[in-house]
A = this chain, B = another copy of it.
Amino acid sequence: MTAKSDEITLRPIGAVRSRIKEPVRRKRSDLVSEIVIDEDLTEALDGLDGFSHIIVLWWIHKSRRPAPVKVRPKGNPDNKLTGVFATRSPARPNPIGKSTVRLVRRRGNVLRVKGLDAIDGTPVLDIKPYIPGYDSVEGAKAPEWTRK
């Protein structure tokens, strides 16, 4: 990899609207928030309501920079130092967040979702439908710390 030449430029397709204004570590599986997509992309959402769940990719705009190489998973001092790519730490070289959320409702360019762990004002990069079997794995293994 060389500098500059391989840079990639993105532009947000929308933003999160939520009552949560600052980052918190706690999982918020019951939180209802909204994703407001740019109006000129409204039609690109047609058909999304055929899915119960969607995948949201977002820019973790408040992540710590530069990203550390190793972190303690979940910020827990009892967890051992782990490579950042083996964790879901928000501080990572390209801070892209990925959440699978319940699509509660689509109305025009606004998606109401449940369980999105992105704060108010977060730039949204992509929306994808969640496809069982393609996005899920049966019997996948993960270390103990992920279950605590």
Contact = CB atoms under 8 A, between A and B. Distances in A.
Interface residues of A, number: 61
Number of copies: 2
A31 to B, nearest CB: 15
A20 interface: no
Contacts of A13: 93-94
Interface string A44-62: 1111101111010101000
Contacts of A132: 137, 140, 142
B53 A140 contact: yes
A142 B136 contact: no
A136 to B, nearest CB: 4
A139 B37 CA distance: 27
A120 to B, nearest CB: 16
Interface of A: 1, 6-15, 37-38, 41, 43-48, 50-53, 55, 57, 59, 69-70, 82-88, 92-94, 96, 98, 100, 123, 125-132, 134-137, 139-143, 146
